[in-house]
Structures are given as C-alpha cells and as structure tokens.
Amino acid sequence: MSASARPIATTRSTAGMPTGRLAVWWVIASEIVIFGGLLGSYIMFRLSHDSFAAEAANTNMYVGAFNTWVLLTSSLFAVLGHKAAEEGNGPKAAKMLYLTFGGGLIFLLVKTWEWSEKISHGHTLSSSTFFSFYYTAAGLHALHVIAGMVIMAIVAQTAKRNLELHRVELIGIYWHFVDLVWIFLFPLLYIAK
Amino acid sequence: MSLHDHAPSHAHEEGHGDGHATHHPNYVKIYLILLVLLVISILGPELEIRIVTLVTAFGVACIKAWMVAKNFMHITMAPRYVLYLVATTLVFMLLFFAGTAPDVMKFSGTRWEKTPVAHVQAAPHGDAAHH
Amino acid sequence: MATAPVHHETHDDHGHARAGFIRHYFFSTDHKMIAMQYMFTGMAMALIGGFFAYAFRMQLAFPGMDVPGFGVVSANEYNHLITNHGAIMIFWVAMPVLIAAFGNYLIPLMIGCDDMVFPKLNRLSYQIFLLSALILIASFFVPGGGFAGAWTMYPPLSTKPEFGLTPLGATLFVVAVGVEFVAFLLGGINFVTTAMNSRAPGMRMYDIPMVVWMIVIASILFMGSVGPLVAGAVMLIFDQNFGTAFFDPTRGGDPVLWQHLFWFFGHPEVYVVLLPAVGIVAEIITVFSRKKLFAYRTVLYTAFGTGVLSFMVWAHHQFIAGIDPRMANIFTITTLLISIPVAEMLFVYIATLFGGSITFTTPMLWALSFIATFLIGGVTGIFLGASGADIYLHDTYFVLAHFHYTFFPIAIIGTFAGITFWFPKMFGRMMNERLGKIHFWGTVIAFNCIFIPLFVVGVAGEHRRIYDFTNFPELARPALRNLDEFATISLLVMLAFQPIFLFNLFYSMFRGPKAPKNPWNSNTLEWSADSPPPHGNWPELPRVYRGPYEYSVPGREQDYWPQNAPN
C-alpha cells in the first residue's frame, strides 16, 4: 500500500502499539492454535501407540539439529535487521534480511534432501501414521517458511531504499514465530524416540 | 480529498507509535546461549535415560522458546495484553488436549475397538490405493 | 523513516470519487463497499441454501414427488442437499453477513475512523471468500455430485468414496471450507486490530457500542477456535487423497479425533455468529425504547465469559459418539453453565425494554422476535446439553428444531434486524415500513409453524438424515406424517414471503424516500455521517464525548445525546 493512500485509521494506536505489530501478534495467536491442534493430535497418537517410537527411530536427529541451528542463526540475523532498521540504516537491515532469507533457503534445501532420502527408504506420507504426522507437521511449517521468505524479500526491497522500515520488525516477529514452531517440532519429531 | 492529505505525516508514526524505541539486548550473546541449549538437547538422549531425554528435549525447548519470545520478539516489551493473548491461546490448546486425549488415547469401549498402529511399512488394507 | 510516498502501479481508488464501475464495485478497498459485497454474496448464497431446504423438505413431506423446479430427489441428492444446506447457511450466509458485512460496515463508522486499518487486506479477504463460495458451487457439478456426508464431515463418510459416493465433491467441500476460514482469519485480524487501535479520540473502552464489542469478541473466538480445524482439514484432505490414516480406525487412526477437531471449532462458532446478532439487537432495542442499555458492563463481561466458556463445551455434540463417559459428565456441567450468561443477556434486554417508550418499527419487531425465538432455542438446548436426555434425543428432529431455533434468530432474524435498521445509512433511503411489517409477520409466524412441529416429531422418535420415512413403518404414522407435511407447507409460506423483502430492498434502494442523517435519532457515531457516508466517512473525523446509550437523559431537551456532541 502506498503511504499516501494509507487511511488515518492505520496510523492511530489507541491500544498502545503500532497497528502493524498488533496485527502480527494476532496472526501469531491464530497460528498457535493451528499448530497446537496438529501437534496436540500428534502427541495423543505418540503417547498411545508404541509403534510410533520405533518409527521415530528412522528420523535423523542430526539433520534436525542442523536445521534448528540454521533457523536460530537466521533468527539472529532477523533481529539484527530489526535493530539496524530502528537505527535508520535501511541498507544494513536489508542485508540482514537477505541473510535471513538465505537461512530459510538452506533450511528448505536440507529439508528437501532429507525428505527425498526418507522417501527413497520407503517412508512416505502414507507408509505409517507417524510419517503422516511427520510430513504434515513439517510440511505445514515449511509452507510458513516459504511464506516468510517471500514477504521478507518484498520487505527487503523497500528497506534497501530506506522505506517502510517498520516492516523489518514485523517480518522479524513472524520469522521468530516460525523458528519457535521448529524449536518444538525438533524434539517432537526427532529427539523423542 | 483533504482527509487523506494528513496521511503521510501520520505514516511516520507507524514505526514506533508507542513512543519509545525497542531496548536491544546483546543478541549475539543470546544466540550463543541458544546454541548451548541446542547442544544440550542433542546430548540428552545419549545418556539413554528416558526422563533425562524428556527434560533435555522438551524442558530445553520451552526455555529456548521463551528466550526467543522475550529477546527476539520482545514480547515483554509489548503491552501486557500481548502476553495474555498468547498465553490464552496456549491454554485453549491445553483444553483441547485435555478434552480430546481421553477419547483418542482409548482403545476400546462398548462394542468397539481400535486397531493399534501396526509397525509395518505399507498400508495393510490397500486403502492407500484409491485416490 | 517512511515518509516519501511510494508510487504503486495499482493505485487504488482512495480519494477518487468516480472510479470505473468495475473498480468501484469489485475492487474497492472502501470498507462500506466490501461490506456490501459480503452482504450481497451472502444473500445470493442464502437463496441457494433456501432452495436446497425447499427441495429436501418437499421430498420429506411427499416422498418420491417430482419437486417443482428440482425434479425427483434421489437418495444421494437428498444427502447432498442437506449437507450443503447446512454448510451454506452457516459458513456462507451467517458468517459473511453477520460478521463480515456488518463488521466491515459498522466497525469503522461506529468507532469514528475513515476505513479499516488494512483496506487491501480487507479486499483480499472478500476475494478469498468469493473464491471459496465458487469452489463450493463448483463442487455441486463434479462427477459424483457435491459432498453428501453431512456438513460436519465426519469420517469415514467424508474420507472414503465407497461410503460417501462423492470422490471429488468431498475434497472440494473441505477445500472450500478451509479457504473460507483463511478469508475470515484475514477479516478477523482486521476487525480486531481496527477496533483496538483506531478508535476516535475520546472513545474509551466503555464508550464502544455493544455491536462493535460483540463483533470483536466473535472474531477473537473465531481466531482462537478455528486453528485445530484448519489442521484437521489438512489431515482430512490427506486421508481423502493421499492414503494417510489419521481418522481410519482400521489402521490406528481415530474418527473421534476429527469430531473433536471439528467441534472444538464448531461450538465456539455458534457464539461467533450469535454475538454479532446479540449486538445488533442491543443497538436496536436501546434506540427504539429510548433507554440506556441496562448494565452495559455486565453485558460486556458476560460476553467475554460466554466466549471463554464456549471453548469448554464442545464435546456435548458427541455424547453418543463413544466418548469417555467421565468427560460427558464434565461437558454436561459446562454446557449447562453456559446457558447462564446467555440467559442473562436476554434478561438484560428485557430490563432495557422495561419502562421505555417503545416504538414498533420493523427493525424493533425483528429485534424483539429475536429475543422470543432465541429463548425457545436456548431452553430446548438444556435438554440436549444434559447427556442423559441427549442419549434419547440425539440425532432426532428435536436437535434439528433446537438448532434452527438458535440459528434462525441469529442468521435470519438478526440479519433482517440489522439490514432494516442500518438501511437508511447504507443506501441513503428509507425502507417501506408497511412491506417490512408484512414480511416480518409472514416470516416469523411461518418459521414457528415449521419448527414447533419438528420438536414434536423429534420427541416421537423421527431421526434426522432419513431420506424416506415410508421405509420405516413405525415412524410413518399418520400423525407424524401430517406434522411433517404441515412443516413443509409452512416452509413454502415462509419462502413465499421473501420476495416481499427483496422487492422492498431493491425498490427502496432506488426509489425510497431520501433518508436524513439520523432518521432514528440514534446516538452512535455512524449516524453523524452523511447517508450514505462518502469514501472516508466524515470530512473531519469525529471526537467522542460520552457513551453510546445516553437516551432520555433527564434535564435535556432532546431524548438522545449523540456521542460526538460536545455537550
């Protein structure tokens, strides 16, 4: 939205927080219940079926750990970008966002490799309920990673020209949330065996 | 329309309408702590004690999550209702779990029983065949 | 920081009074136009849903008959009709009209700002909603026909084509519902953020009109409850198409899990659509009884309490689904508890009426009939909330009559109340009162004639979702058949009264007498704008000095005191 067309409504903040940030928190609240419903169902199955533990032994914890590290690092870049944006340094913020973007890309590449390896070993979406959850949960998360990367690329484009710098923080908050989901997916899918 | 002529000047406030800039902690330090926690969660299962694994996996995940929320997302610096909002959604998820788990984790009842997931690679009934 | 304007290729029509027709009516970012889009889409869907009801009620009353306008209803078509009637009326009529249309129209006007905080997101929300409606309609025409496994989509009817007989229709149905949720999530975030952040200067928490509060609380409930079902919809689509076994008990899955995922959303959903209707009724009752809303804060806290409680009652839909009996106890208690706050809201409205100077305008008649009919719906819910009674009554026409006595007041009466009340603001003209009253009496009396007999046949044992009662001799007793026929004929009468409303709506829109700014002498901010309000709503945004319900204040010449009047 061009700045000149922004309604006055957008610029008010009776709730003590800029509109954009407030909305991002509401997005996160509604995302928590989406992942909550899925992971809650997974935990119920995991606790009641012994075979899940045997199936979970097929996942590679080190790949999961590497991806956790990648996302944590990208989160660091995102928050450094926020700091740079707040100091008014648009180009630096954009650079940080590109680094974050790169983190997301590495995450997806590792995921792709990991999944192709799993599928080649016969662990597909329908091979067992554990792997159904494995692909559904990680896939839903990966969709969020992709969405975050697309938005980040757009935000970085404007931030580079020192425009709409508040957006850097907003995409950062969303990205940290995506990171948070992975922080829980990692022990749920990879560690608990 | 004169109404919208004000907009650009207002747009300026968008960045920090609450009037104060975010306090920035030392992010690299927090990042290093997070990495240490990650290593702990990887090393936990090596001991092969179930309770230790659970604590290092999920206890550490909770700590990591709180550190990210507090230091990277600045949840404690936002108005208090944000924290309440997020906490409420988590409580709702607990409610969902509490109401659903007794049924889903039950394997038999009056005139019904559920097959446990067989530890096999392929679907036993060929149900996967139809698309 | 971001001060320089960025030139955007799709420069929207902000500030352009005369944009092109298509851009004005289809790609507008103005909250009022988006509200109209939602409202008319919802009305069109209501016509489809109503037509479905007509077709399957004719089949029920006169089995095997060649239904005029539809033809002979086959068994699978019957299932298809009832499934889509339910889904359309809740997801594509009640939600878009009550929340999206009234929310879009009223929130910015009532809190005194020029638009929603995210106008483009708002437009996107409507477009996604329209897409979902088109997907649903498309699903009626795929091979095998539209989904026929009931709107609750319980597995295995929804997952296995050999049971549901609708291989593609089932998937499209789930996709349509899921896409629709995305639309309302975007809309809900917009509503909540707008109401929180963009109130007029001087408008404190307790100066917000009740209907805005109610729409906001409803949006929050929606956002908090829909998540598990979004996840569940993904799982269901995988079960349908990719051979997973989340809900297949023969392979370790659990069909009851779906029921929990569905009703964890499904029950709060009742309150998602109820609360906006309750809010609309609050506005109308105070205006036409010229009295302050009785116990404003209590109503507000009650609404919040109802919202929280609504997350704890969902399993009362599953008492005979094989759930843990200990859980059934707990859910019985919470269900009976939730009737307290809802009853309290109705009492508050009656207390508001007490001693007021009441005018029986068309919107007021609708509002009063809301209270009366919803009361019946609420009271019959007590029987169903008690797990013991529910074992007998479950899946009978008693249940059906009960929830129609809640949803009809909400979705139909609440909507008519809102449209007739805000019509002067929306279109700048007055509706015809005489036609409005004829339509009102025809609809409400016929409605009661449809559903009171269905309570009786339900208690007598008639089950829902039965295609042809003549196959069940013990249920095909003449006494029950006559009641069924009476209900169907009442439905025909009710449908026959609806063209009066449509005529009144469209005739008044173009030919009605011009409406003044504030035809009802109301206090809230929207009545201080022009009728209809221009883009941007006010030349100068208003300031608020007092609460919304200062009617008949002693010592004042006028019996109303607009929120934006300095003294």
Q: Tell if the CB–CB gap between A126 and B128 is shorter than 8 Å.
A: yes
Other C-beta atoms closer than 10 Å to the C-beta of C457 total 25
Q: Is residue B54 part of a domain?
A: yes
Alpha helices (runs of H) in C88-209, residue ranges in sequence order: 102-111, 119-139, 161-164, 167-197
Whether B71 and B34 map to the same domain: the answer is yes
The C-alpha atoms of residue C242 and residue C236 are separated, in whole angstroms, by 10
Q: What is the pLDDT of residue C567?
A: 76
C116 contacts C194 by C-beta, under 8 angstroms? yes
Q: Which CATH superfamily is domain C29-528 in?
A: Cytochrome c oxidase-like, subunit I domain (1.20.210.10)
| A184 contact residues in B (CB cutoff 8 A) | 61, 65
Same domain, B62 and B102: no
Peptide bond into C325 cis (omega under 30): no
Length of chain B (residues): 131
| DSSP reduced 3-state for C429 | strand
Residue type, B73: M
- pLDDT value of position C471: 85
Contact indicator for C411, C45 with CB cutoff of 8 Å: no
**Residues C85-108: tens digit of each pLDDT:** 999 999 999 999 999 999 999 999
C140 CB-contact burial (10 Å; exposed 0-12 / middle 13-18 / buried 19+)? middle
Whether residue C529 is predicted with pLDDT greater than 90 in this model: the reply is: yes
pLDDT digits (tens, 9 = 90+) for C226-262: 999 999 999 999 999 998 989 988 888 889 999 999 9
C215-235 mean pLDDT? 95
Of B2, B99, B115, the CB nearest to C250: B115
Would you mind telling me the total number of residues written for chain A in this entry? 193
Asked if residue B85 belongs to a domain, the reply is: yes
Same domain, B55 and B92: no
In a domain, B39, yes or no: yes
Mutate to test the interface with B, among A10, A39, A79 (most CBs of B within 10 A): A79
Q: How far is B31 from chain C (nearest CA, A)?
A: 28
Residues B50 and B84 in one domain: no
Q: Please name which of C433, A32, C153 lies closest in space to residue B75, comparing C-alpha atoms.
A: A32
Helices (H), C253-396: 255-289, 296-309, 325-353, 362-385, 387-393
Peptide bond between residue C341 and the one before it cis (omega within 30 degrees of 0): no
- Residue B10 pLDDT greater than 70, yes or no: no
Q: How confident is the model at residue B109 (pLDDT cuts 50, 70, 90)?
A: confident
Q: Lowest-confidence range among A129-138, C3-12, C70-79, C478-487?
A: C3-12
**pLDDT tens, C459-473?**
998 888 889 888 888
Which chain B residue shows the shortest CA-CA distance from C540? B3
- Amino acid identity of C94? A
Question: Across chain C, what does the average pLDDT equal?
Answer: 91
Q: Which of A8, A12, A33 sits opposite C228 (nearest CB)?
A: A33
Whether residue B4 and residue C312 make contact (CB cut-off 8 A), yes or no, is no
Q: Please tell me the distance from the alpha carbon of residue C218 to that of residue A161, in angstroms, as a whole number.
A: 40
Confidence of residue C18 (pLDDT cuts 50, 70, 90): low
Q: Flag whether B129 is in a domain.
A: no
Contacts of A30 in chain C (CB under 8 A): 185, 188-189, 223-224, 226-227
Model confidence band, residue C11 (pLDDT cutoffs 50, 70, 90): very low
Contact C148, C165 (CB under 8 A): yes
Residue B70 lies in a domain: yes
Name the residue in chain B with its Cα closest to that of A168.
B15
- Do B53 and B39 have their domain in common? yes
B10 in a structural domain: no
Asked whether residue B9 is assigned to any structural domain, the reply reads no
Q: Tell me whether residues A26 and C2 touch, CB distance under 8 A.
A: no
Q: How many structural domains compose chain B?
A: 2
Q: Give residue B14's pLDDT band: very low, low, confident or very high (50, 70, 90).
A: very low
Asked if the structure places residue B125 within a domain, the reply is no
Among B12, B102, B123, beta carbon nearest to C251: B123
**CB atoms inside a 10 Å sphere around CB C21:** 8
Give me the amino acid identity at C86.
G
Q: Which of C323, C333, C335, C537 to mutate to test the interface with B (most CBs of B within 10 A)?
A: C323
Domains of chain A: 15-191 (1.20.120.80)
Question: Tokens representing B66?
Answer: 């709180």
CA nearest A104: which of A53, A163, A176, A48? Answer: A176
With CB atoms and an 8 Å threshold, state whether C241 touches B1: no
Residues B94, B48 share a domain = no
Q: Which of B117, B125, B127, B130 to mutate to test the interface with A (most CBs of A within 10 A)?
A: B117
Q: Which domain holds residue B82?
A: 78-108
Cα dihedral sign, A44-A48-A51-A57: positive
CB burial readout A30-48, b (16+ within 10 A) else e: bbbbbbbbbbbbbbbbbeb
Condensed to tens digits (0 to 9), the pLDDT of residues A26-50 reads 999 999 999 999 999 999 999 988 8
Distance CA(A51)–CA(B94), nearest Å, equals 25
DSSP C66: E
A158 within 8 A of A167, measured Cβ to Cβ? yes
**What are the φ/ψ torsions at residue C520 (nearest 5 degrees)?**
-100, 10
